[in-house]
Structure 1
Amino acid sequence: MSVLEVSHLKRVFGGLTAVDDFNLTIEDGELIGLIGPNGAGKTTVFNVVCGFYQPSGGSIRFQGQDIVGLRPHKVTAKGLARTFQNIRLWNSLTVRENLCVSQYHRLAYHLWGATFRTAAFKNSEKEAGKVADKMLEILGLTAYAHEYPKNLPYGLQRRVEIGRALSVDPKLLLLDEPAAGMNPSEVNDLIELIHWIRKQFNLTIWLIEHHMRVVMSVCERIKVIDFGRAIAEGTPNEIQQNPHVIQAYLGEDDAA
């Protein structure tokens, strides 16, 4: 069964069609890239799939279930996690606390339990801490557990954000421009990390990225959109040679 099926997806903002007739099926275990020029609609696709925006048309099925209309936390609870183009960590919390907070959508207590520190509260907090500590160890972040994210190098901040997404035990991980703002050394580390987490967590990954070395190094299949519409799909080698893709990125006319 496919992990994700997006059919005829459309998103309109006022008179602007940001995404138009977008279709994509992602099979279990795949690592798929979504690329296109700035403003092509890539992040809008992610935002619609994750429930931040509601589609103007089309369908979205995750593990066979219709998820259109679900709020973002409900989508996450079903096993679809994401990172953001601009890192969104809680800088007033430590790295470990960031990883704990990501699990609160599934903890077995409510306000009453937190107020009176019931057994359910204590057990849930303990379990969240165990998951966070395991993630810190797996991602090599244990030494930074009590640091605030804002004090870490950019590459480590991105690793924390990915760790936060992994803490919810996702089936599908969406990475929105994870290499943004990274230096060459950090990009190399990121490529290795993506390969590693895919194998370590047996994950299906959907990636938006402008850094072509990342895309070509990790993706098995790539979808290209421009002005909200798909213009190409294929292997990295096929995409590199596709004249429509070259035109979209370089602005060459058909006669060139």
Structure 2
Amino acid sequence: MKVMAAVKRVVDYNVKVRVKADQSGVDIANVKMSMNPFDEIAIEAATRLKEAGHASEVVAVTCGSMPSTETLRTALAIGADRALHIRTDAELQPLAVAKLLKAAVEREQPQLVILGKQAIDDDAGQTGQLLAALLDWPQATFASAIEIGAGTATVTREVDGGLEVIELQLPAIVTTDLRLNEPRYVTLPSIMKAKKKPIDTVSPSDLGVDPAPRLKTLKVVEPAARTAGVRVADVAALIDKLKNEAKVI
């Protein structure tokens, strides 16, 4: 079984992002970038499936500009066998990414595609679901456990009411939640080995996909600063402030 894992280059989760002066977007100049944490979980899950004997090959794929190659190298260091870079400088939105991944799936013919449930830059949480719709494949989102059977994948999902267990017929799409696994620490020998693993590069036009954005960002603003709290003398004063100042009751 071949497994494909999609990864994305995003601003590192430890960085405090700044909005550009013209409010056109987030300033990423001279900012540390890294693999989306949910995608790191996805590539770890794919690697563990191979180590358990359920997968014969793990292919990492990303969409983005030249620096995204660094993210693929990290995926290869974690355990992917080879990588596919769909290189474009266009602003990529979830639908365009899903179309590019669909073309990559048709090219590679994997039996299982694993993605992070969302990217921490836009928090859209749409790509996996859009990809499943475009391919007409079964999907399981927010996975906290994956078990592979004979032509099936049993996935435990985290839902509002607890846990839901569903069985999918392969090929299928799975998006990962935080509790699926803890990604391994990438060692120096793994990084050196990753440099020898192949990365194929294609363009959206090679795949017959137009990645042009369909949505326009009008303005990006920072959230309003929270005001300092106050102490109240008694319950009556608390109720008065909640009713007349905060207007929440």
Answer yes or no: same fold by TM over 0.5.
Answer: no
- More strand by percentage: 2
Structure with bigger gyration radius: 2
- More helix by percentage: 1
